[in-house]
Amino acid sequence: MNIKLLHLVLPVGISFYTFHTLSYTIDVYRRKFEPTKDITSFFLFVSIFPLAMAGPIERATNLLPQIYKRRTFDYAQATDGMRQILWGLFKKVVIADNCATIANPIFEGFENASAGTLLLGAIFFSFQIYGDFSGYSDMAIGIGKLLGFRFLNNFHFPYFSRDIAEFWRRWHISLNTWFRDYLYIPLGGSHGTKWLVVRNTFIIFLVSGFWHGANWTFIAWGAYHAILFLPLILFGKNRKYTNTAAEGKYLPSLKEFCQIGITFFLVMIGWIFFRAENITNAFLFLKGLIHWRIFSAFYRVLMYKEFWFVVVMLIVEWLQRSKYHGLETFLLRCKPIIRYVFYYLIILTILWFFSNNKEQQFIYFQF
């Protein structure tokens, strides 16, 4: 029997429209606010253009009051928005697109690659997906500031996390808090027996994996993070780190440095499942990493210009880790000439790579 398939073209960002509408409907049902009588304001909330492609996922309780209110130009907010857009462009064009030129060929030809090369591929993909998605979020939030809106924060320097629970409080914040408020808490949240808490946690991560795509790799990615979360829940350590790493200091302690490194490594392993075409390839990639000479050729990373741009990004974001974005207050206390030279260097770097590299689509446009 031949089954006819429907090749439907879905609207770009349909999942984000759905999340906006669902949260509005549920919050009205819970009587958190009165339903709007202004249909224009409602559709603007659902489909406001900076957020339409890949979020952040807004809440009606935050955005609708801003839509109702008369907005006037705020110079300080607009300049902060421009800085955030600039930093988002840097992370997308300079970090993500360049890391993609290294990570993509390695993942596509992983069968013949050495352990050291596979490790480089996993590392560069980790920064590709971060630069790509957080870069988009920075640009969307920055555009919102130019329009007089303050959108919800979506990333808060997740690669400086000290355990996996802190990572998920800092990565794709709007999606994770959406699942928390509309799925995890209704299921019982952290109340009840340990078994129920574990069950709820697995449901959240599996649903999050399934949301990213109808592929077993995403389910495995979600299950992997749920397993990493399990010890923290069982021992009551999932809320241990709610502050900023090395708060009030320039450098982390040796313990914090090791914790950040281990957390990044665990997240990087998860990204292999996220990036692989299928489960078999993911496990073969992991198998290829298990070799005693894995670090023998790792010095090659120093030869990649992309590595040094990642280092620049990490230094800037480490210095700004208690702020909302990488350029929020960076160099503001310096003389204007120093600050503007830095901004123009970023702009010239973006233009250089944009004109010389093949265009890379935003990863999260497909979800």
Question: Half-sphere exposure of residue 131, counting CA atoms within 13 Å on the CB side?
Answer: 30
Cβ atoms of 200 and 44 closer than 8 Å: no
Cβ atoms of 197 and 233 closer than 8 Å: yes
Question: Can you tell me the distance from the alpha carbon of 307 to that of 19, in angstroms, rounded to the nearest whole number?
Answer: 36
The two most distant CA atoms of the chain are separated, in Å, by 74
Question: Can you tell me the distance from the alpha carbon of 56 to that of 65, in angstroms, rounded to the nearest whole number?
Answer: 17
Question: Can you tell me the distance from the alpha carbon of 89 to that of 350, in angstroms, rounded to the nearest whole number?
Answer: 7
- Cα 212 to chain centroid, rounded: 13
Cβ atoms of 288 and 118 closer than 8 Å: yes
Residue type at position 85: I
Helix axes 115-146, 97-108, angle to 10 degrees: 150
List Cβ neighbours of 288 (8 Å cut-off, separation of 6 or more). Answer: 110, 113, 115, 118
**Of 20, 172, 212, 225, catalytic:** 212
Cβ atoms of 96 and 360 closer than 8 Å: yes
Of all helices (H) and strands (E), which one includes residue 243?
none
| Annotation marks residue 20 as catalytic | no
**Backbone dihedral region for residue 294 (phi beyond 0: left; psi -120 to 50: alpha; all else: beta):** alpha
Residues with catalytic roles? 212
